[in-house]
């Protein structure tokens, strides 16, 4: 069969298709590797984005709770400020021209007058005048008590006001510390979202490339299968043609040997082998003259499972 133009043509086509299938197989494997690498990076990015979202969610909840607390403290400040203002209005002197002298100052005045009474030689009128003055000062101290009690309440309110203002300021500082962190995570999430979108796009492009490559491989496998079938049929036809020729050759040789026997001529080793093959029904020539078409065929007749056929569900 060697040298047969049709056989040689099919061999070249088979070699070409096999080479193309090999190259496409490599391309497909490279595509799958890239797709797998992108899938790993994509999974990593998505997990990272999930963690960032959870962290931001926690920070935002803290900020929300702190803002509620700050609002509570600020409302308390407003409430206390209103109470203090109300107390101050209630305790204004009825006589706007009259100023309230602190009781401590009035007591010092009384002590000074009493000291003068005890140490000075006073006339009756002068002493009576001092005594009247002490009486008025004591009366004023009694009058001041109601204002002083009210001012004590105001002092407590002012202390509470100061406390809640401080608490509100402290909470505000905490919010100011957390807010930038939340903004920073938001920016990281935005960048991570871009990375994920890009990776998904690349993965889809690779998917389309791999799909196209798989289709090409399937088509080439189909073409190769058809050519191998054609090659097998052609080889069988050639084999049958040679077989027929061999049969004629054996029959002719057998007739010649039989003629030798009739003529009582000496038989050669090949003559004896011809008679043996005829008796056994063989069509093969003597081994030392075995024709080329008995050599092992290039391709097996069984259906070929090409190693570059596409793997499904990959």
Is the per-residue pLDDT at 218 higher than 80? yes
pLDDT in tens, 119-149: 777 777 887 888 888 888 888 877 766 666 6
Nearest Cα to Cα of residue 69 among 169, 180, 179: 169
Give exposure, 190-221, as e/b (b: 16+ Cβ within 10 Å): eebeebbeebeeeeeebeebbeebbebbeebb
- Asked whether residue 296 carries a pLDDT value surpassing 50, the answer given is no
Question: pLDDT above 90 covers what percent of the chain?
Answer: 40
Mapped to the 3 state alphabet, what secondary structure does the chain carry? CCCCHHHHHHHHHHHHHHHHHHHHHHHHHHHHHHHHHHHHHHHHHHHHHHHHHHHHHHHHHHHHHHHHHHHHHHHHHHHHHHHHHHHHHHCCCCCCCCCCCCHHHHHHHHHHHHHHHHHCCCCHHHHHHHHHHHHHHHHHHHHHHHHHHHHHHHHHHHHHHHHHHHHHHHHHHHHHHHHHHHHHHHHHHHHHHHHHHHHHHHHHHHHHHHHHHHHHHHHHHHHHHHHHHHHHHHHHHHHHHHHHHHHHHHHHHHHHHHHHHHCCCCCCHHHHHHHHHHHHCCCCCCHHHCCHHHCCCCCCCCCCCCCCCCCCCC
pLDDT band at residue 93 using 50, 70 and 90 as cut-offs: low
Domain spans of the chain? 5-294
The model's confidence at residue 71, banded by pLDDT at 50, 70 and 90, is: very high
pLDDT > 80? residue 78: yes
Residues 238-260: tens digit of each pLDDT: 777 777 776 777 777 777 777 77
Buried b (16+ CB within 10 A) or exposed e, 231-240: bbebbeeeee
Per the prediction, the chain carries an average pLDDT of 79
Question: Which is higher by pLDDT, 292 or 265?
Answer: 265
Backbone angles phi, psi at 143, to 5 degrees: -65, -35
Comparing CA positions, the residue from 253, 287, 284, 285 lying closest to residue 271 is 253
Residue 32: pLDDT over 80: yes
CB 220 within 8 A of CB 253: no
Are residues 222 and 99 in contact, defined by beta-carbon separation less than 8 angstroms? no
What is the pLDDT at residue 5? 83
Whether 57 contacts 207, CB under 8 Å: no
Give pLDDT tens digits for 146-183: 666 666 777 888 889 899 999 999 999 999 999 999 99
Q: Hey, what's the torsion of the CAs at 186, 192, 194, 196, to 10 degrees? A: -140
**How far is it, in rounded angstroms, from Cα 119 to Cα 114?**
9
15, HSE (Cβ side, Cα atoms, 13 Å): 7
Spatial CB neighbours of 230, under 8 Å, sequence gap ≥ 6: 10
Most confident of 94-108, 146-160, 172-186, 271-285: 172-186
């Amino acid at each position: 069969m060697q040298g047969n133009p049709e056989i040689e043509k099919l061999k070249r086509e088979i070699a070409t298709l096999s080479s193309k299938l090999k190259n496409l197989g490599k391309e497909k494997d490279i595509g799958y590797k890239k797709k797998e690498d992108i899938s790993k990076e994509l999974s990593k990015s998505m997990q990272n984005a999930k963690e960032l979202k959870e962290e931001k969610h926690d920070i935002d909840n803290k900020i929300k709770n702190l803002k509620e607390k700050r609002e509570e403290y600020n409302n308390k400040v407003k409430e206390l400020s209103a109470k203090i203002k109300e107390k101050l209005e209630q305790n204004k002197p009825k006589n706007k021209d009259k100023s309230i002298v602190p009781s401590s100052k009035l007591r010092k005045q009384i002590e000074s007058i009493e000291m003068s009474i005890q140490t000075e030689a006073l006339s009756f009128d002068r002493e009576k005048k001092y005594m009247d003055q002490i009486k008025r000062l004591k009366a004023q101290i009694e009058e001041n008590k109601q204002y002083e009690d009210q001012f004590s309440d105001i002092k407590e309110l002012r202390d509470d006001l100061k406390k809640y203002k401080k608490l509100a300021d402290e909470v505000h500082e905490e919010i100011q510390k957390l807010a930038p962190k939340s903004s920073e995570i938001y920016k990281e999430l935005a960048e991570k979202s871009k990375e994920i979108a890009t990776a998904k796009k690349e993965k889809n492009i690779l998917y389309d490339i791999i799909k196209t490559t798989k289709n090409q491989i399937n088509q080439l496998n189909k073409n190769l299968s058809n050519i191998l079938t054609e090659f097998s049929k052609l080889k069988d036809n050639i084999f049958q043609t040679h077989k027929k020729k061999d049969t004629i050759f054996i029959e002719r040789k057998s007739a010649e040997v039989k003629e030798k026997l009739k003529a009582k001529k000496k038989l050669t080793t090949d003559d004896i082998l011809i008679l043996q093959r005829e008796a056994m029904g063989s069509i093969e020539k003597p081994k030392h003259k075995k024709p080329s078409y008995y050599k092992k065929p290039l391709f097996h007749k069984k259906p070929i499972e090409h190693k570059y056929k596409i793997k499904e569900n990959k």
